[in-house]
């Protein structure tokens, strides 16, 4: 028997599959797409029923030559690209280039790169699914028409290098709309009144918050109302009016989908969506594990399903029973309902084997690979465990016709929280609140009042986590599009990220307002969500892909013609800085390029001087007294160094602060824990100086 050829996208995936299949199989990588629309022109024949004009991607000639050669000497060719629309399209293009017979069973797919899954897939090849391919073509052609026809308009009217996109423009609009909500928000004053109470003869105090008056909930709008209550209750006895005790169960969160993985990795680890997907792809395709060879550690990473296979559930249950005991393993497996409209083709993201504990593979993983794998592993394991149980107590304290309420909660059984707890958007952690044992009719004593003024808050700015969740909730984009969409709008200078918060730039507002005015349908949330539903219908074989383009294009073309004639030339003034050009003496200005913002001389082209923008911490270098600045390593990791480099070699991975250690005099640094600053510690490893931060 001759060899069998298996073609995948990446060398890492090829290495993993080669190890699993062994002799008799040749595994080669296509290095991603091999054919695509041309970069230099539209590549869609709008006069000939929107026929796409695919070309071989530049630089792929040698790869294709090798693939053809291997295919010719193989008895069978299997196309094993990723199990989604994009992967199906890559297989379709490969089949065309290799001149494979249409309809032949050449396509294999698997949700995880394990021996069992890959060998089973080899036994069950199928023809290429044209519905999946057509859904990808429809998205590609739509995005090309929008991007390649609005972008040149922006170049002419605003600035060269700008771009627009069918999904990216909607995401940018969401951030711009939120910023305008914040700007228009008018805060309203309100107050809270908390009493600090204790039992007779006990020092322990507990809080009870003003709840109601005359049996009706009452909101305190100003200080006068608070003062009136305090005055009305002078010298009054406080008694326990009602005590309610109960138990509350908190169920585990489902295993990760693409969206929830990006959200939780942002909250817990501080990763961007793009970084999360890059690392997750590496874990899926295979990591060289010491003594084991290349192993695919997690299942396929682009999914919106929370479904788990029965085999994986049983494996998790056996592991939980052995490691934690029967009280932590539910009698029946936990099942989770996927969101409406979710594609259920793939399982949720989980470890391929529960026995691959994070600790056993840590030495084979890079730091961030390990952190993400541990997150996926613990979330999956916790999803298959019993609920956490809390003992709750609510106490109403009465004085005259006023009720003050105290609430307590105490965890009495860890359940799944022994392994994992989901983060909250506000960054706060749930803590036990213990109340003293109180009985109805018992008198308690007021120690003091704690009145507080508050103001209603505007909606929060988006973080990457909350933007991904909002896009998913609104049906905008799909699991594979969230990360590249956010990357595009930030790299183009429309949106900036500061301490994880996303906000629009002046350029972002200008471009958003232009597109919203002249291409309202393109950035309409409902229209974009309905377009995603139409693409899903193509995948399901319910719609013909060109029908979607035929319906979309005439009105779009009309809008394009109107905009081209109506939009005036817009001049964006560069922001002047106090940095002096060391070549001609002019004040340098801030410009935005492919790799972000930089300083440039305004006398271009006569003077071509540019400089990077350096962020100063406002902290003096502990070695030479110059300013400490933020720098980036070659791998993009943030560190802190002296602005006087190379004359001074001071560097620190932790962010230095303005204070010195009271014990040894060394500089102090902010020490982050799971992405959040927890404490200020001494930089001297031999000194134990530290203090907690406030907030």
**Nearest-5° Cα angle at 372, 371 to 378:** 90
**Nearest-5° Cα angle at 678, 648 to 387:** 145
Q: How far apart are CA 512 and CA 504, in angstroms?
A: 9
Q: How far apart are CA 209 and CA 196, in angstroms?
A: 9
Residue with tokens 């802190």: 640
Q: How far apart are CA 257 and CA 270, in angstroms?
A: 18
Residue with tokens 């009985």: 439
From the number of C-beta atoms within 10 Å of its C-beta (0-12, 13-18, 19+), residue 280 rates as: buried
Residue 540 has a CB neighbour count (10 Å cut-off) of 12
Which is catalytic among the residues 25, 238, 284, 300?
Answer: 300
Q: How far apart are CA 593 and CA 589, in angstroms?
A: 13
Q: How far apart are CA 170 and CA 477, in angstroms?
A: 10
Residue 496 has a CB neighbour count (10 Å cut-off) of 17
Cis check for the bond before 360: say yes or no (omega within 30 of 0).
no
Which pair of tokens denotes residue 463? 């973080």
The answer to whether 577 touches 588, Cβ cutoff 8 Å, is: yes
Query: C-alpha distances in angstroms, 146 versus 272, 600, 680?
Result: 26, 32, 50
Any idea what DSSP says for residue 460?
P
Active site residue 328: no
Plot region of 82 (φ>0 → left; ψ -120 to 50 → alpha; else → beta): beta
Q: How far apart are CA 246 and CA 190, in angstroms?
A: 31
Instruction: Give 105's contacts (C-beta < 8 A, 6+ positions apart).
Output: 125, 126, 127
Cα distance between the two ends of the chain:
69
For residue 280, give the H/E element and its range.
helix 273-285
Concatenated DSSP letters of 348-401? PB-BS-TTS-HHHHGGGS-HHHHHHHHHHHHHHHHHTSPPEEEEEEEEEEEETT
Instruction: Give 107's contacts (C-beta < 8 A, 6+ positions apart).
Output: 78, 79, 88, 91, 125, 126, 127, 128, 129
Distance of CA 206 to the CA centre of its chain: 39
Q: How far apart are CA 321 and CA 414, in angstroms?
A: 15
List, by residue number, the catalytic residues: 300
């Amino acid at each position: 028997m001759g060899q069998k050829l298996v073609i995948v996208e990446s060398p890492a995936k090829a290495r993993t599959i080669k190890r699993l299949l062994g002799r008799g199989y040749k595994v080669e990588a296509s290095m991603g797409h091999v054919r695509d629309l041309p970069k230099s022109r539209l590549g869609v024949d709008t006069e000939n029923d929107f026929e796409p004009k695919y070309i071989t991607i530049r630089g792929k000639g040698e790869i294709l030559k090798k693939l053809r050669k291997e295919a010719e000497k193989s008895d069978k060719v299997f196309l094993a690209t990723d199990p989604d629309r994009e992967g199906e399209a890559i297989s379709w293009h490969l089949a065309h280039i290799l001149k494979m017979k249409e309809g032949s069973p050449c396509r294999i797919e698997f949700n995880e790169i394990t021996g069992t899954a890959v060998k089973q897939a080899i036994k069950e090849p199928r023809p290429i699914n044209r519905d999946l391919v057509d859904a990808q073509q429809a998205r590609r052609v739509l995005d090309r028409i929008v991007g390649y026809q609005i972008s040149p308009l922006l170049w002419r009217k605003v600035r060269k290098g700008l771009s627009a996109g069918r999904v990216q423009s909607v995401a940018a609009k969401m951030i711009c709309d939120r910023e305008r909500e914040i700007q228009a928000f008018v805060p309203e004053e309100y107050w809270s009144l908390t009493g600090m109470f204790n039992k007779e003869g006990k020092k322990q105090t507990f809080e009870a918050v003003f709840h109601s008056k005359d049996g009706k909930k009452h909101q305190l709008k100003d200080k006068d109302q608070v003062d009136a209550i305090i005055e009305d209750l002078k010298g009054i006895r406080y008694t326990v009016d009602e005590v309610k005790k109960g138990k509350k169960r908190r169920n585990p969160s489902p295993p990760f989908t693409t969206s929830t993985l990006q959200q939780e990795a942002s909250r817990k680890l501080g990763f961007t969506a793009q970084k999360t997907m890059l690392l997750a792809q590496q874990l899926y395709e295979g990591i060289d594990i010491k003594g084991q060879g290349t192993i695919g550690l997690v299942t396929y990473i682009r999914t919106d399903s929370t479904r788990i296979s029965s085999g994986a559930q049983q494996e998790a249950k056996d592991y939980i029973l052995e490691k934690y005991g029967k009280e932590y393993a539910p009698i029946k497996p936990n099942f989770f309902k996927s969101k409406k409209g979710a594609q259920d083709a793939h399982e949720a993201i989980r470890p391929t084997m529960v026995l691959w504990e994070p600790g056993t593979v840590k030495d084979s993983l890079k730091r961030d690979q390990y952190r993400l794998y541990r997150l996926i592993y613990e979330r999956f394991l916790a999803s298959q465990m019993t609920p956490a149980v809390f003992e709750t107590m609510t106490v109403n304290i009465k004085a005259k016709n006023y009720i003050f309420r105290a609430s307590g909660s105490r965890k009495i059984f860890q359940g799944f929280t022994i392994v994992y707890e989901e983060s909250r958007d506000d960054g706060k952690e749930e803590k036990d609140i213990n109340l003293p044992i109180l009985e109805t009719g018992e008198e308690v004593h007021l120690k003091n009042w704690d009145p507080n003024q508050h103001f209603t808050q505007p909606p929060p700015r988006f973080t990457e986590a909350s933007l991904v969740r909002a896009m998913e909730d609104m049906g905008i984009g799909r699991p594979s599009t969230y990360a590249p969409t956010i990357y595009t709008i930030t790299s183009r200078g429309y949106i900036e990220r500061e301490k994880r918060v996303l906000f629009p730039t002046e350029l972002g507002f200008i471009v958003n307002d232009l597109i919203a005015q002249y291409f309202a349908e393109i950035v309409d949330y409902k229209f974009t969500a309905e377009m995603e539903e139409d693409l899903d219908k193509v995948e399901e074989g319910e719609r013909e892909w060109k029908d979607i383009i035929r319906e979309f294009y005439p009105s779009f073309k009309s809008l394009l013609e109107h905009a081209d004639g109506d939009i005036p030339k817009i001049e964006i003034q560069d922001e002047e800085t106090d940095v002096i050009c060391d070549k001609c003496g002019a004040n340098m200005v801030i410009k935005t390029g492919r790799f972000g913002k930089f300083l440039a001389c305004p006398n271009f082209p006569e003077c071509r001087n540019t400089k990077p923008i350096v962020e100063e911490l406002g902290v003096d270098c502990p070695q030479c007294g110059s300013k400490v600045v933020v720098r980036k390593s070659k791998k993009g990791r943030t560190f802190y160094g002296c602005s006087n480099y190379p004359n001074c070699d001071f560097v620190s991975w932790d962010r230095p602060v303005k204070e010195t250690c009271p014990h040894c005099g060394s500089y102090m640094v902010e020490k982050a824990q799971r992405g959040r600053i927890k404490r200020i510690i001494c930089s001297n490893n031999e000194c134990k100086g530290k203090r907690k931060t406030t907030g």
